[in-house]
Amino acid sequence: MTAPTADDLRTRVRALLAENDPKTVARLDFLRARFDAGLAWVHFPAGLGGLDAPRSLQSVVDAELAEAGAPDNSPRQIVIGLGMAAPTILRFGTPEHHRRYLRPLWTGEEVWCQLFSEPGAGSDLAALGTRAVRDGEDWVVTGQKVWTSGAHLARFAILVTRTDPGLPKHQGMTYFVCDMSAPGVEVRPLRQITGEAEFNEVFLSEVRIPDSQRLGAVGEGWKVAQTTLMNERVAIGGTPMPREGGLLGPVAEAWREHPELRTPELHDRLLKLWVEAETLGLAGGRLRQQLAAGQPGPEGSAMKLAFAELNQALSGLEVELQAERGLGYDDWTMRRPVHIDFAARGPGYRYLRAKGNSIEGGTSEVLRNIVAERVLGLPSEPRVDKDVAWKDLPK
């Protein structure tokens, strides 16, 4: 079957709009119709919100619908579902999983979160200890997860567990879909330096998960998790930005508004960061071209690393450009945000929140190792615990 062309997609968009006028059709009904028309994520298979089209043609659909005033699915609010859960479910899920989860995930009817990191397993995710024990057709899961974005809003979670502690840490792991409303799931807020509580700690106390909610084979949780992690880093660091997008916009605005604060040194720093932002944008375009040809690779780790460092440098420069105004903070009220909105807050918030960019989605230290070993081909670090059973590792 020949893949659809850009003109084919424009024709489909016109047909969708003719049958579902955005001015009169309810938002959710329009999104469901868009999914059923294969115009949600065009590179997905037909029948699952896509048309087996090149990923690059998604921009054609989005532009046509935006011009018509059609609603989108608020992607910033459901980024974990779109960027991490969906690619993993598509690759490792059963046809039943595809039919059950993908449509409400894309429309935003069901929000997803990610139960990966633990108090003793963050940078070294393979050291996780949350146990899943088989009991008939169910698994009984007990443990604690931490730094879980949006868990207080989530209907489902992607969850990695330890199912065989007698194997080395990268083995004996199994991956599940967890119902966040199941008995035994407790979500507690974690207040951050910004005053917000977008993150959570999640306690799992004998939570029963049917084996039918397993993604991938028993013991192959690390393999499945790698798909999630590679897509996560692309979702964080590879998002396309317009010129002066992201944190570069507030810095450029502060530079224009406060000429009295300009110095040659600050001018040089701004130009350097401007060039880095443009370079990152071009690299992101190249990465998206690679994605169109297959699964994301380790290059996404480099993008996420560069994104974190650029954000921290830009937010620091903005505070300096604001002089004493940059030391203020707009609101310490504890909030439970639906998504992160850098633009809606002041420079103090942006400076503090950007610190988290070098932790979330993989720490910068871990990402440097990935880039060194898997992109540059440098020798890997010695790993003395690689073949040691997880149960025998120091805890």
Which are the catalytic amino acids? 232
- Residues 190 and 356: their CA atoms lie apart, in Å, by 13
Contacts for 7-15: CB closer than 8 Å, 24+ residues apart: 9/39, 9/42, 9/51, 9/53, 9/57, 9/60, 9/61, 9/64, 10/60, 10/64, 12/37, 12/38, 12/39, 12/51, 13/39, 13/61, 13/64, 13/65, 13/68, 14/64
**Cα–Cα distances in angstroms (integers) from residue 355 to residues 129, 307, 312, 350, 358, in the given order:** 27, 12, 6, 9, 6
Query: Which residues have C-beta within 8 Å of that of residue 389, sequence separation ≥ 6?
Result: 165, 166, 167, 168
92-128 burial code (b ≥16 CB/10 A, e <16) = bbeeebbebbbbbbbbbebbbbbbbbbeebbeebbbb
Of residues 254, 89, 77, the one with CA closest to residue 149: 77
